[in-house]
Amino acid sequence: MTSVAHATPGAHGGSGGAQHAPMGFWQKYIFSTDHKIIGIQFLFVSLFFLLVGGLLAMQIRWQVGFPGKPMPGGGILPESMIVNGVILPEYYIQLVTMHGTFMVFFAIMPLLVGVYANFLIPLKIGTHDMAFPRINMASFWLALLAGLIMTAGFFVPEGTSRAGWTMYAPLSARPDLSGATVGQMLWCVSIVVLGLSSVMGSVNYITTIINHRAPGMTWFRMPLSVWALFITAILAVLALPVLQGAAIMLLFDQTLGTHFFDPVAGGQALLWQHLFWFFGHPEVYILILPAMGMVSDIIANGSRKPIFGYHSMVFAIVGIAFLGWLVWGHHMFMSGMNPTLGSTFMVSTLLIAVPSAIKVFNWLGTMWRGNLRFHVPMLNAIAFVSMFTIGGLSGIFMAATPVDIPIHDTYFIVAHLHYVLFGGSLFALFAAIPFWYPKMFGRMMDERLGKIHFWLTFVTYNLVFFPMHNIGMGGQMRRLYDPTIYDFLKPQQPLNEFISIAAFALFAVQFIFAFNFVWSLKKGRKAPQNPWEDNGLEWSLPNPAPHGNWERVPNVYRGPYEFSAPEAGSADFLPQHVKLPTDRDPVPAVAPGTGH
């Protein structure tokens, strides 16, 4: 693994520039409290779970596109899952459940938050490390443990839980009705452990941003990536415990004979939905806000212009996060809850479209009259804007409650969620990973491979997910093992086949990214200190950034997006830490207890 911490004299951080004793391999790279190492650990583990999620998706698409046909390679799976190569219905619903679970909890969330909150925050606000480095380390190991517990579900009798990643009760609470026994319990335990990891990380992010900003780094000079990660952390620390509570109640229903969710003994089926979605909706904003923040940084960089409407962008992030607590019932319009709640949740849901629209227009405004550089991160960031717009607009159809009636729980929803989570979040990651790769590993990812990967992914991705809107309009329900059972769905089966084939191609293309990532670790071009000519504080450090970051934290003289500022002279960027003759030193903020 590429070395991250150089043992240059005085480069070790800590109070007052004191030096650590030299660290062994285990302490430096495995049980590290260095926020950058923790971020990189999250990166490797989460990319692995992203692969797992993708493999599950391939099996799903095989079955939907070619129902009942033996799957190539199916022979390696046991008879409880596949018989004569044919995926069994009970395995299929495990696949859809685990695909969603792994992608949401173990791929996208840790990639956005576990990786970039950890890696970027101290670097971008100008401090040595997180406020609580050991709790930070624990948060990684708990996340890994949670992932292993979840994976174990595939290896226990009867297999994994299978009520969808949304885990609706009473199906999820009753093993006699679902068929899942130990696997269902493992899901609950894993979620509780993951929630703990999330909360531990979040308290670090929040505390560090509030207390440890470098002198001159006022709130409104923070990059939007940091703002987004800050607000996301607040969402996480408030939302995850709700899910943990619900998961514990579900676990008790299965094991202790409680009946929180089972009406047979006085419980309420809808209680699960309210608890889950009260968490679930803020969760989807956890899954998009960091992406939006990083995209803002990258678009400003690629446009060589300040972000258009920086303050509006901050207020939009806060607005989205705040409103995000008030919309959860839009997942429950058909649930049988009081229809008046349908009206109220529709209002809040339609309103939350507004701050998202503001952000899209501001990204456009940033690119307007810019001097656009189409490096790989910029390409992916522009694609983010394009596809997040589609995903966000498709949400308006379902927000209008009467229109939700025919499209709820159909592939229209599947299209929407994949446009925002893949077209949105994952493309933002395809932008962020190469952008900060040099800071992590000291090398550049290959630009040409990156561009090939981008174009092929962009095309195949849209071929897979855009037609799903039509599939859903045609009435195809979610989580359907075999659509051809229904006469009204038979005519669109050729489109299902097409989508599946495009999906196989989309998956295959990702190996270009995987190869590029792994190959560049050792063979990538050695990175100059500021390869993107960016303004962030992190680029004032060598690549890779050393343990402890700065010996003395820098002073901050301006906002994060002073590209093409007149003061910059002939350069078209002006980093936050560069002192011009006209600048005055900021009054140092006294960070309690640490000094610098």
Partner 1 sequence: MKARLFTVVGGMFLLTVCSKGDQGTVRAASPAPPPSDAASAQPAAAPSESLAVSPSQSGGTITGKIKFTGTPPRNASIDMSEEAACKAKYKTNPPAEETVVTGPAGALANVFVYVREGLPAGAKPQAPATPVVLDQDGCRYNPHVLGIMVGQGLEIRNSDPVLHNIKAIAKKNRPFNVSQPTAGMKTVRTFSAPEVMVNLECNVHGWMKAYVGVRPDPFYAVTGPDGGFSIKGLPPGTYTIEAWHEKFGTQTATVTVTGTESKTANFTFAAR
Partner 2 sequence: MSWWLPPAASTFAGPIDGLFLAILIITGIALVIVEVGLVTFVVRYRARPGRKAFYTHGSTRAEVIWTAIPAVTMVALGLVSNHYWVIMKGKNSVPANAYHVGVHAKQFEWRVTYGGPDGKLRTDDDFTVRNQLHIPVGQPVAVELTSEDVIHSFFVPEFRVKQDVVPGMHITAWFQATKTGEYEIGCAELCGMGHYKMRARVFVHTPEDFNAWMAQQAAGGTE
Single-letter code of the amino acid located at 501:
I
Q: Cβ closer to partner 1: 482 or 572?
A: 482
Residue 84 vs 582, nearer CB to partner 1: 84
Contact in structure between 167 and 276 (CB atoms under 8 Å):
yes
| Cis peptide bond prior to 544, omega within 30° of 0 | yes
What's the N-to-C CA distance of the chain in angstroms? 30
Q: Within a 10 A sphere around the Cβ of 490, how many other Cβ atoms?
A: 11
Cα pseudo-dihedral 331, 337, 340, 344, rounded to 10: -30
Task: Indicate the residue among 21 and 264 with the shorter CB distance to partner 2.
Answer: 264
Min dist. Cβ of residue 502 to partner 1 (A): 25
Q: Which of 329, 375, 374 is nearest to 348 (CA)?
A: 329
Q: Which is nearer to partner 2, 545 or 578 (CB)?
A: 578
Which of partner 1, partner 2, none has residue 362 at its interface (CB below 5 to 8 Å by kind)? partner 2
Task: Please state the closest distance from residue 339 (CB atom) to partner 2, in A.
Answer: 4
**Residue 538 CB neighbours (<10 A):** 23
Smallest distance, partner 1 to C-beta of residue 83, A: 5
Is the CB of 273 or the CB of 540 nearer to partner 2?
273
Interaction partner, residue 68 (partner 1, partner 2, none; CB < 5-8 Å by kind): partner 1
| Residue 301 contact, options partner 2, partner 1, none, Cβ 5-8 Å cut-off depending on partner type | none
From CA 530, how far away is CA 538, in angstroms rounded? 9
Q: Which does 408 bind (CB under 5 to 8 A by kind): partner 2, partner 1, none?
A: partner 2
Specify whether the CB–CB gap between 176 and 121 falls below 8 A.
no
Compute the least distance from the CB of residue 91 to partner 1, in Å. Answer: 9
For the CB of residue 84, give the shortest distance to partner 1 in the complex, in Å.
7
Binding partner of 369, given partner 2, partner 1, none, CB within 5-8 angstroms per partner class = partner 2
Q: How far apart are CB 347 and partner 2 at their closest, in Å?
A: 6
The entry of partner 1, partner 2, none that residue 410 binds, CB within 5 to 8 Å by partner kind? partner 2
Check residue 87 and report its DSSP letter.
E
Which residues fall within 8 angstroms of residue 6, CB to CB, at 6 or more apart?
Answer: 542, 544, 546, 547
Helices 35-65 and 116-125: angle between axes, nearest 10 degrees: 140
Contact 369, 333 (CB under 8 A): no
Q: Could you tell me the smallest distance in angstroms from the CB atom of residue 366 to partner 2?
A: 9
Is the backbone peptide bond immediately before 175 cis, with ω within 30 degrees of 0? no
Q: Which is nearer to partner 2, 138 or 353 (CB)?
A: 353
Residues at the site binding partner 1, with contacts judged by CB under 8 A? 68, 79, 83-84, 86, 88-90, 176, 179, 481-482
Partner from partner 1, partner 2, none binding residue 334, C-beta < 5-8 Å depending on class: partner 2
